[in-house]
Amino acid sequence: MHPAALTSARRDPRPARERPLETEYRPRHPLDLMRTVSIQQRGAHDPTFSVAASVIWRASRTPAGIATLALREISPSVIRAAAWGPGREQALAQVPALCGADDELEGFDASRHPLVAQTHRRHPGLRLSRTDGVFDALAGAILEQKVTGIQAFGAWRRLVTWCGERAPGPTPVPMFAPPTIDGWRGIPSWTWHRAGVEPPQARAVIEAARRGPSLVHAVTAAADGEGRDAALTGVRGIGAWTAAETRARALGDPDAVSVGDYHLAHEVGFALTGARTDDDGMLRLLSAWPGHRQRVIRLIRLSPAREPRRGPRLHPEDHRDR
């Protein structure tokens, strides 16, 4: 085990009997809690996200400090939430948005394609979750650039565990909040290397961290997706794909499309036409749902439409022994 991992595994600042703050959230719309919130998870072993005994656990960093949030569905109309840590009040305040309360269906016409309409009927509780954690979403998206999910999720797990902060509360497994912006910027080169992060991705995270709060403010203050993309892609090493992934998770943007994704255009093309397409073709197909293209993508991924796999899988490359 990496020495940093040993240190972080022993780091446990949790008071022995800290009592949580608790509240109930009663959504005004059908809510599939697991499918809505699970977009925030990065791999099965994400140290910021865990599911145990039907409870969703999430560790995050708020302006007031770190917090652990636990969500349980008591009934289809009641979500019980508990939070621990110095940021617990803000974590509870974020629960409605995390559960899709800000997601508006106005202007969405599922009937424009039978597959989309059918999937929408079958999953009326799917909402678009937002965390408002722009930098955490951005750092995670950068780590996923041009690598397999296995590589990206492994790098995220190592960096958050080694460089983040132990989450408070009775978590089912040791959990960690991501580093602060300054913490991301201060990660040394050898730690990036041992975590399995390619140098371009490491440089992009560090460059984004150098701009820190001003970058986050520019993204959150932008009036639309185009303005958010402009703020994000103004950082060297951040392109359209990374910007869209950040918008989808942090801001619940219903129109974000991850152009340049290794699989997405093929998935959309096959689902909507029965044949593969490229990014331009995907954008033409999704133009039937202006303002809701991310929603359609989420519905397509919940649908039974799956293209038979014929080609070789993308083989992970590990640069750590070079």
Amino acid letter for position 181: I
Q: Go through 281-305 and write b for each residue having 16 or more CB atoms within 10 A of its CB, e for each that does not.
A: bbeebbeebeebbbbbbbbbeebee
Residue 300 has a pLDDT of: 98
| 15, pLDDT greater than 80 | no
Using 50, 70 and 90 to split pLDDT, how confident is the model at 274? very high
Contact 158, 8 (CB under 8 A): no
Q: What is the pLDDT of residues 163-213, one digit of tens each?
A: 999 999 999 999 999 999 999 999 999 999 999 999 999 999 999 999 999
With 0-12 / 13-18 / 19 or more C-beta atoms within 10 angstroms meaning exposed / middle / buried, residue 31 is buried
pLDDT of residue 17: 63
User: What confidence score (pLDDT) does residue 170 get?
Assistant: 96
Average pLDDT of the residues in 120-128: 97
Q: Please state which architecture CATH assigns to domain 17-107.
A: 2-Layer Sandwich (3.30)
> Confidence class of residue 21 from pLDDT cuts 50, 70 and 90?
very high
Structure tokens at 214: 């001003």
CATH 1.10.340.30 fits 1-16+108-322, yes or no: yes
Helices (H), the chain: 3-10, 33-37, 88-93, 95-98, 114-122, 134-143, 149-163, 181-185, 189-195, 199-221, 225-233, 240-250, 264-273, 279-286, 293-302
- Among the ranges given (88-97, 118-127, 226-235, 310-319), the one the predictor scored with the smallest mean pLDDT: 310-319
State the DSSP code for 169. Answer: S
pLDDT value at residue 11: 53
Q: Which residue has the tokens 């939430």?
A: 81
Residue among 253, 14, 212 at smallest CA distance from 130: 253
Q: Tokens at residue 321, please?
A: 């022994």
Confidence at residue 13, expressed as pLDDT on a 0 to 100 scale: 55
- Dihedral of CA atoms 213, 218, 223, 226 in degrees, nearest 10, equals -130
- Ramachandran quadrant class, 155 (left: phi over 0; alpha: psi -120 to 50; beta: rest): alpha
Record the pTM.
0.90
**CA-CA distance, 84 to 70, in Å (whole number)?**
9
Domain locations along the chain: 1-16+108-322, 17-107
- The encoded tokens of residue 300 equal 């397509």
